[in-house]
Chain A
Amino acid sequence: DQQVKQNSPSLSVQEGRISILNCDYTNSMFDYFLWYKKYPAEGPTFLISISSIKDKNEDGRFTVFLNKSAKHLSLHIVPSQPGDSAVYFCAAFGSSNTGKLIFGQGTTLQVKP
């Protein structure tokens, strides 16, 4: 049962344009959602998170939007840079299981110069 889904395995955008990565979830008990960036042979690096009581959180070039009724979140990167090329994972957990992150399958982002 895939509780967190990233339906796009890959995404390619031009440098300077917007990258939009999408994530859907099924478990209504999730309270927090996080985005991680991962390079090969390295651990995931935390990017940005959002609580279920908010619908938007912004940090520099990264903005996460949460649509609770649709059980959907998205990560916007503006402007995209070649160094953003990596695998992006969305993850979620419920407040009763703070140490148990449920990850999506990941989306490979390629930003072309």
Chain B
Amino acid sequence: KAGVTQTPRYLIKTRGQQVTLSCSPISGHRSVSWYQQTPGQGLQFLFEYFSETQRNKGNFPGRFSGRQFSNSRSEMNVSTLELGDSALYLCASSLGGHLNTEAFFGQGTRLTVV
């Protein structure tokens, strides 16, 4: 069974640009969550999508957005990039049920903003 796949693995962008990251969850998983990891802030929750709807949202500015497709694949978009957006972006997939207790993470996309 394939794991969570994130593309691309590495990305370099300049300030002001926008970027789209992709996440393919484990087959059968309907929930995809996105996290930002930085050295100073640790792992911070961005948002979660379940059945193509945003179900939870963290405390990030509107420049961070996402969507989920009918096959559960998800994309995250960051517009008007800032230097502080440089981070490892992780997505996690899970079944998404009420008592779901386990989320599986992808390897992440390392975004560098210069």
Chain A positions near chain B (C-beta within 8 angstroms): 32, 34, 36, 41-46, 49, 51, 89, 91, 95, 97-106
Q: Separation in Å of the A70 CB from the closest CB of chain B?
A: 22
Are A97 and B56 touching (Cβ within 8 A)? yes
Listed by A's residue number, 25 A-B pairs whose Cβ atoms lie within 8 Å are A34-B101, A41-B88, A42-B107, A43-B4, A43-B6, A43-B90, A43-B107, A44-B43, A44-B105, A46-B102, A51-B101, A89-B43, A95-B98, A95-B99, A97-B56, A98-B31, A98-B98, A98-B99, A99-B31, A100-B33, A100-B48, A101-B92, A103-B35, A103-B43, A104-B42
- Are the CB atoms of A98 and B100 closer together than 8 Å? yes
Interface size of B in residues (CB-CB distance below 8 Å): 32
Residue of A nearest to B56 (CB): A100
Tell me the smallest distance from the CB of A36 to a CB of chain B, in Å. 8
Q: What DSSP secondary structure best describes chain B's contact surface?
A: strand
Question: A41 contacts B43, CB within 8 Å?
Answer: no
B-chain residues with CB within 8 Å of residue A42 when the two chains form the complex? 107-108
Least CB separation from B99: chain A residue? A95
B104 within 8 A of A: yes
